[in-house]
Amino acid sequence: MSTPYLETPRLAPLTTWDADWRGLRVVVAGIGLSGFSAADTLIELGARVVVFDALDSEENRGKADTLRIVGAADVLLGPEHALSLPLVEGEPAELVVTSPGFSPSHPVLAEAAAAGIPIWGDVELAWRVRIREGRPTAPWLAITGTNGKTTTVSMTESMLRAAGLRAIAAGNVGTPILDAIRDPQGWDAIAVELSSFQLHWTHTMSPLASVCLNVAEDHVDWHGGYDAYLADKAKVYENTQVACVYNAEQAETERMVEEAEVVEGCRAVGFTTGMPAISMVGIVEGLLVDRAFIEQRRNSAAELASLDDLGDTAPRHMAANALAAAALVRAFGVDPVAVRDGLRNYAPGGHRIEPVAKLHDILWVNDSKATNPHAAAASLAAFRPVVWIAGGLSKGVHYDDLVRAHGDRLRAVVLIGADSSELRGALARHTPDVPVIEAAAADTGREGPLTGEEVMANAVAAAAAVAEAGDTVLMAPASASMDQFRSYAHRGEAFIEAVRGYVEGQAQTTKEP
């Protein structure tokens, strides 16, 4: 499912902040973080803006009020406004700027495409306004992949800062890219995390360096198939200026680089958790080393850091992420010592293989960020035996390979999710002897579906009933969260609270005579 890049005479000159954006008629799809940021930016630029969102919530009404106060914006909330492309002050839109979650098949976007109206994402808009008179223009280090994006973008930011640079991680994590672009001081460099959704709607970005960390089946429902998902991931390499960094252990990413249209002189640089060849970074005797960005790379390597700098228990994929980040910042010109110091300063984010509690020799681990099978595989590989809490919104992916590879680690599986039939089927085919427990329905005394907190409390109780000493109870759902939770973070927090409640209850029981 590809979206052609459309340009019009009105839009072609709009490649800097100081271009003539005044009066441009724009429809913004969605009023979440990126949609609000896009609308706010366009208003500041002097465009005429209409925002629509199907969710008419108190939070969205508050955002709508803010946009109306800061400038001329019409905000339409409610499902009836998400069915057709709205007019802008009685005239057709000249541009649609969409939030990442809107798929090309959405009725409004499909209507815009059929009418020949260009569709940008917030990243495309940010790239076009990044140049502003009187303020430095920061190079972008672009990062995508099925898994590891947030870790790698945070490591990249930490390395850049260790080099004394004013740097920020933005995009699909933390700060929306347009908010970063509008910082009045500007930046020396921006590490930009990009989802496949964002890349789909990005057309002219030209990063200094780029990486696709890995690819595995994910979001195939949104993209319309795995090939289309790969094609959107590959867009991260288009127009790269200095270095396209690829995973030497996954041929798909190398093929993406080979097929990319890049700036003349751009290099291909591989990363591997084994010994690196020339023009690669890798690992030799416990050291992260560089054979890509040194003059003597044919017969020597520069030490960047030690595996010990990642922490005593860092899993293998953390080393791969660190090497990818190192390659990006080395392409920018950062010294090896800053790579080492950046890794030492790096603090992992929450909800990623996060120990929560240990009681009766049972370890409870939160990996809510494992929103697809590839991510769940990394955490399942780290523990044995496992009581696995899993399930949720599958996004059209399949679980057979995951269960086949790690089924021998499972003591039991507790299913969450509104519909986990795909995962249940894979378990039945490949691990028929492993008990599968549906998170029991709570007696809430009311009608309607359980809350996310109730779902997770049931799952924790079910896991506790079957776990034995030496086990790990691992909440790594291999699925998205939006069927029962607001986000993977909400799901993770619900798990943490449920585990704490269970542990406190056990402690109270122990104290009773």
Q: Which domain holds residue 327?
A: 135-345
Binding-site residue ranges for ATP: 145-151
Return the closest-CA partner of residue 211 out of 289, 267, 128: 267
144, part of any domain: yes
Tokens (6 digits) for 380 = 């399942």
Checking 132-138 for CB contacts under 8 A at 24+ apart, the result is 132/16, 132/17, 132/18, 132/186, 133/17, 133/18, 135/184, 135/185, 135/186, 136/186, 136/187, 136/188, 137/186, 138/186, 138/187, 138/188, 138/189, 138/190
Return the closest-CA partner of residue 336 out of 306, 305, 371: 305
* 279 and 148 housed in the same domain: yes
* 71 and 190 housed in the same domain: no
* 340 and 359 housed in the same domain: no
Return the closest-CA partner of residue 402 out of 432, 434, 372: 372
Beta bridge partners of 223: none
Question: pTM for the complete prediction?
Answer: 0.77
Binding-site residue ranges: 145-151
* 419 and 475 housed in the same domain: yes
* 408 and 451 housed in the same domain: yes
Residue 175's SS3 state is: strand
Tokens (6 digits) for 500 = 């704490």
Q: What is the pLDDT of residue 448?
A: 65
Whose tokens are 């228990």? That residue is 313
Is residue 217 within 8 Å of residue 250, measured between CB atoms? no
Q: What is the pLDDT of residue 170?
A: 96
CA distance 53 to 77: 5
Q: What CATH number does residue 233 fall under?
A: 3.40.1190.10
**Mean confidence (pLDDT) of the chain:** 91
Query: How is 52-75 classified by DSSP, letter by letter?
Result: EES---HHHHHHHHHHHHHSSEEE
CA distance 242 to 254: 16
CA distance 195 to 233: 8
Q: What is the pLDDT of residue 142?
A: 98
Residue 236: other Cβ atoms inside 10 A: 29
Residue 474's SS3 state is: strand
* 139 and 118 housed in the same domain: no
84, part of any domain: yes
* 158 and 303 housed in the same domain: yes
Q: What is the pLDDT of residue 512?
A: 46
Tokens (6 digits) for 488 = 């993977």
Last residue of a domain, one of 301, 328, 345: 345
* 365 and 481 housed in the same domain: yes
387, part of any domain: yes
154, part of any domain: yes
Helix, strand, coil abundance in the chain, percent, nearest 5:
40, 20, 40
CA distances from 98 to 151, 210, 269 (A): 26, 23, 33
17, part of any domain: no
Tokens (6 digits) for 487 = 């986000």
Q: What CATH number does residue 366 fall under?
A: 3.90.190.20
Last residue of a domain, one of 345, 362, 386: 345
* 108 and 251 housed in the same domain: no
* 87 and 189 housed in the same domain: no
Return the closest-CA partner of residue 290 out of 315, 314, 326: 326
Last residue of a domain, one of 124, 154, 184: 124
5, part of any domain: no
Return the closest-CA partner of residue 236 out of 214, 221, 256: 256
* 223 and 294 housed in the same domain: yes
Residue 438's SS3 state is: strand
Number of domains within the chain: 3
16, part of any domain: no
Tokens (6 digits) for 109 = 């976007």
Q: What are phi and psi of 289, to 5 degrees?
A: -130, 160
Instruction: Compute the half-sphere exposure of residue 294: CA atoms within 13 Å on the CB side of its CA.
Output: 18
Sheet of 267-271, strands arranged across: 167-171, 189-193, 140-144, 209-212, 243-247, 267-271, 280-284, 287-290, 302-306
CA distances from 104 to 4, 321, 347 (A): 11, 31, 36
Strand bridging mode 287-290 / 386-390: unpaired
Q: What CATH number does residue 100 fall under?
A: 3.40.50.720
* 281 and 392 housed in the same domain: no
CA distance 283 to 273: 6
Q: What is the pLDDT along the chain (513 residues), one digit of tens a residue?
A: 456 788 999 999 999 999 999 999 999 999 998 999 999 999 999 999 999 999 999 999 999 999 988 876 799 999 999 999 999 999 999 999 999 989 999 999 999 999 999 999 999 999 999 999 998 999 999 999 988 898 899 999 999 999 999 999 999 877 899 999 999 999 999 999 999 999 999 999 999 999 999 998 766 777 778 899 999 999 999 999 999 999 999 999 999 999 999 999 999 999 999 999 999 999 999 999 999 999 998 888 999 999 999 875 556 678 999 999 999 999 999 999 999 999 999 877 667 788 888 888 999 999 998 888 888 888 898 888 999 999 998 877 889 999 999 999 999 999 998 888 899 999 999 999 999 999 855 454 556 678 888 899 999 999 999 999 999 999 999 998 888 888 888 899 999 989 988 888 786 554 444
10, part of any domain: no
